[in-house]
């Protein structure tokens, strides 16, 4: 199976809701109740529409923890889709002991153990269970190439054994749903990733005894790779203001489980049901506005043909064809209004936050597209501007500190951020600490390979340009953005992937991004390919970023897949970040480190780092 999460969703839909041929279901018992828990509710809501469920005779949805309030409906079948947690299994056992429905089909979104099965079997005294199936979707599908783990435990700053196991189980379900048994590559300097990778390896090796991972790589001459990365190794990407559609929606409005809210109205973002969003989600702002204008013109042209005057001149057959299109026109009109509201809100935020100047300066700083003195002067101008928000000023100063490491300049900037005549509100104690400790916390280094800017473009900053001309139309190649001032920066992930896809034989472990990767090879993979397989080029890469992934990194994955059709890529994380949520995580990191001043004693800090590694 290719790395396409939409195909996984389609496959599981067929198993969940479409009866098998030959299944004996009476006409009066065709309708079904769908019973979910808190985990699978999100999965279903993000993958399937109400229309799809109704078309497959799902007439009612209930939660498994509300079994006591179920009504007796013995004429209905029940489809149960839950995560095999202790609480959900107990609720299921309670329901089976006193069944409210005619029959039960049980589906679990991850592996269920023997003791849980025995409890369910013992509770089925009325023999109402018709089917028990393990489906493997213990994660949320965002896009066809983007996922997040579906765990409620927040482990951003807390290494918890149970949380690591839950995270591992989610990733195991992802591998099984994609039918992949990978080698595992991870950053060894991350304690969390060390534990996570070890747990995944143990899971694969132990589940091999149950034949779950047998023959998953059959027919492939190279094993897939599960790449585990730590967000802290690239703290820069979430700070850079994005300029592509899906990323901008999350940055300026917010997306939660593929729903964004504009003027108190919830709008669904679905690349499967919404063709315009599918074609526009990775477009830059200039191309987006052009495409939306064409979208509106198409609607005007189509609806003009159905005007009263035109309908009066049509024969009956043509009239019938036109009338059948009215529901489609209504849907098109609603979709146009939805995206008009979203784009209008984004444009308002860009203007109010002065993002044309801020975004340009961010790219100039991090890609060093101008000399330091000019950049410093431009930054001071924005820091002196009371209309620029405190958050945007903090992000600019953080980027400057990464690029130039000038403590005197940072002190000057901090003084301006603490001056109420220039910054309102002034920075908090935590923000002040973050600016001082940022480089020490992450040891941030931007390599020259991350800079896709061209110094010959420096003159572009000295003149005013219409924003639509700043973006390069029909430009899908990640390495050809030199004429786009707002898309110069390329995430560090790009260099890591290029090195995996085309490894440098002289440097197998260290890549262009300056990240060392360790490798774990499951027994089943070693038996099939040998132990030295980790040094070979790869075709299938599943990326997981602990600490959060960004929509811009999903766009990078999309562009790399387009530029190299032989490579299959998907990416995910334990959350989807925008700059605000990442800054909140950074504040927590600073507060957690406040008990020991990182900058006070470099020798002691080095000893502390060594102790952590050991």
The per-residue pLDDT for 232 is: 94
Q: Which two tokens stand for residue 22?
A: 């030959």
Cβ contacts of 91-94, under 8 Å, gap ≥ 24:
91/37, 91/64, 91/65, 91/67, 92/64, 92/120, 92/123, 93/119, 93/120, 93/123, 94/67, 94/68, 94/123
Banded pLDDT at 466 (limits 50, 70, 90): very low
The per-residue pLDDT for 253 is: 98
The per-residue pLDDT for 292 is: 95
CB atoms within 10 A of CB 502: 10
The per-residue pLDDT for 128 is: 97
Q: In whole angstroms, what is the distance from residue 550 CA to residue 571 CA?
A: 10
Percent of the chain scoring above 70 in pLDDT? 80
Indicate the pTM of the whole model.
0.88
Higher-pLDDT residue of 510, 408: 408
Higher-pLDDT residue of 333, 386: 386
Q: pLDDT tens digits for 283-320?
A: 999 999 999 999 998 888 877 655 555 555 555 565 45
Residue 22 CB burial class (10 angstroms; 0-12, 13-18, ≥19): exposed
Cβ contacts of 254-257, under 8 Å, gap ≥ 24:
254/578, 255/576, 257/42, 257/45, 257/46, 257/140
Q: In whole angstroms, what is the distance from residue 432 CA to residue 590 CA?
A: 10
Q: Which two tokens stand for residue 589?
A: 């990191």
The per-residue pLDDT for 21 is: 55
Q: Which residue shows structure tokens 């004693």?
A: 601
The per-residue pLDDT for 424 is: 95
CATH value of 5-136 in 3.30.160.150, 3.20.20.70, 3.40.50.2060, 1.10.10.10: 3.40.50.2060
Banded pLDDT at 592 (limits 50, 70, 90): confident
| CB-CB contact of 173 with 138 (8 Å) | yes
| CB-CB contact of 481 with 475 (8 Å) | yes
Q: In whole angstroms, what is the distance from residue 123 CA to residue 596 CA?
A: 55
613 pLDDT exceeds 50? no
Q: In whole angstroms, what is the distance from residue 534 CA to residue 517 CA?
A: 11
- Edge-first strand listing for the sheet containing 58-63: 58-63, 32-36, 73-82, 101-108, 129-134
Q: pLDDT tens digits for 106-140?
A: 999 999 999 999 999 999 999 999 999 999 999 99
Higher-pLDDT residue of 354, 323: 354
Nearest to 26 by CA among 60, 62, 74, 63: 74
Q: pLDDT tens digits for 247-256?
A: 999 999 999 9
Q: In whole angstroms, what is the distance from residue 603 CA to residue 311 CA?
A: 83
Radius of gyration of the chain (CA): 27
Nearest to 556 by CA among 108, 299, 247: 247
**Average pLDDT value over all residues in the chain:** 85
Nearest to 528 by CA among 227, 216, 226: 216
Q: In whole angstroms, what is the distance from residue 551 CA to residue 255 CA?
A: 11
Least confidently predicted of 60-74, 92-106, 143-157, 402-416: 143-157
Element (H or E) spanning 543, and its range? strand 540-546
Cis omega before residue 425 (within 30°)? yes
CB atoms within 10 A of CB 584: 12
Q: In whole angstroms, what is the distance from residue 444 CA to residue 112 CA?
A: 42
Q: Which two tokens stand for residue 474?
A: 């029909």
235 pLDDT exceeds 70? yes
Angle at which helix 579-593 crosses helix 429-442, to 10 degrees, equals: 90
Q: List the helix and strand counts (H, then E) for the chain.
A: 23, 16
Q: How far apart are the first and last CA of the chain?
A: 40
Element (H or E) spanning 104, and its range? strand 101-108
| CB-CB contact of 497 with 541 (8 Å) | yes
Banded pLDDT at 509 (limits 50, 70, 90): very low
3-class SS letters over 228-263: EEEHHHCCCHHHCCCCEHHHHHHHHCCCECCEEEEC
Q: In whole angstroms, what is the distance from residue 405 CA to residue 419 CA?
A: 22
Is the domain spanning 142-234+491-577 CATH 3.40.50.450? The answer is: no
Q: Which two tokens stand for residue 352?
A: 């109010």
Q: pLDDT tens digits for 3-28?
A: 899 999 999 999 999 876 555 544 44
Q: Which residue shows structure tokens 């213990």?
A: 138
């Amino acid at each position: 199976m290719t790395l396409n999460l939409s195909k996984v969703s389609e496959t599981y839909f067929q198993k969940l809701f479409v009866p098998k041929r030959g299944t004996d279901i009476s006409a009066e018992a065709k309708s079904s109740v769908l019973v979910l828990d808190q985990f699978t509710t999100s999965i279903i809501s993000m993958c399937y529409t109400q229309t799809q469920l109704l078309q497959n005779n799902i007439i009612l949805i209930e939660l498994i923890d509300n079994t006591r309030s179920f009504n007796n409906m013995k004429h209905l079948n029940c489809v149960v889709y839950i995560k095999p947690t202790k609480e959900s299994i107990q609720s299921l056992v309670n329901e089976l002991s006193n069944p409210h429905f005619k029959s039960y089909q049980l589906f679990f979104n991850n592996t269920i153990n023997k003791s849980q099965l025995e409890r369910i079997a013992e509770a089925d005294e009325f023999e109402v269970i018709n089917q028990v199936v393990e489906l493997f979707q213990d994660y949320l599908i965002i896009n066809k190439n983007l996922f997040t783990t579906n765990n409620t435990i927040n482990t951003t700053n807390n290494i918890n054994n149970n949380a690591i196991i839950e995270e591992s189980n989610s990733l195991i379900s992802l591998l099984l749903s994609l039918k992949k048994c990978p080698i595992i590559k991870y950053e060894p300097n991350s304690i969390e990733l060390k534990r996570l990778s070890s747990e995944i390896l143990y899971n694969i090796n132990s589940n091999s005894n149950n034949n779950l991972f047998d023959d998953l790589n059959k027919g492939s001459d190279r094993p897939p790779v599960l790449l585990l990365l730590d967000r802290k190794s690239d703290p820069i990407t979430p700070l850079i203001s994005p300029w592509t559609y899906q990323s901008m929606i999350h940055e300026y409005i917010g997306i939660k489980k593929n729903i964004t809210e504009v003027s108190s109205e919830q709008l669904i973002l679905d690349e499967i049901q919404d063709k315009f969003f599918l074609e526009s989600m990775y477009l830059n702002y200039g191309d987006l506005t052009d495409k939306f204008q064409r979208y509106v013109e198409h609607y005007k042209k189509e609806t003009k043909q159905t005007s009263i005057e035109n309908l009066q001149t049509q024969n009956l057959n043509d009239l019938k064809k036109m009338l059948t299109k009215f529901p489609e026109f209504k849907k098109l009109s609603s979709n146009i209004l939805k995206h008009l509201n979203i784009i209008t809100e984004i444009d308002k935020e860009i203007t109010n936050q002065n993002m044309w100047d801020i975004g340009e300066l961010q790219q100039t700083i991090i890609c060093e597209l101008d000399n330091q003195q000019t950049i410093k002067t431009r930054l001071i101008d924005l820091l002196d501007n009371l209309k620029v928000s405190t958050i945007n000023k903090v992000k600019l100063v953080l980027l400057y500190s990464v690029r130039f490491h000038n403590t005197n300049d940072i002190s000057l900037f901090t003084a301006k951020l603490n001056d109420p005549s220039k910054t309102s509100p002034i920075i908090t104690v935590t923000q002040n600490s973050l600016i001082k400790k940022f480089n020490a916390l992450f040891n941030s280094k931007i390599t020259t390979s991350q800079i896709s800017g061209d110094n010959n473009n420096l003159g572009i900053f000295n003149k005013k340009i219409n924003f639509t001309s700043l973006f390069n139309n029909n430009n899908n190649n990640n390495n050809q953005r030199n004429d786009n001032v707002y898309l110069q920066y390329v995430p560090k992930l790009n260099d890591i992937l290029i090195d995996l896809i085309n490894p440098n034989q002289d440097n197998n472990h260290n890549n262009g991004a300056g990240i060392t990767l360790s490798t774990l090879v499951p027994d089943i993979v070693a038996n099939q390919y040998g132990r030295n397989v980790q040094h070979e080029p790869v075709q299938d890469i599943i990326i997981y970023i602990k600490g959060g992934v960004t929509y811009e990194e999903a766009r990078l994955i999309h562009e790399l897949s387009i530029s190299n059709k032989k490579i299959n890529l998907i990416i995910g994380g334990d959350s989807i970040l925008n700059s605000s949520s990442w800054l909140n995580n950074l504040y927590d990191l600073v507060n957690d480190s406040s008990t020991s001043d990182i900058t006070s004693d470099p020798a002691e800090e080095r000893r502390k780092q060594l102790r952590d590694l050991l």
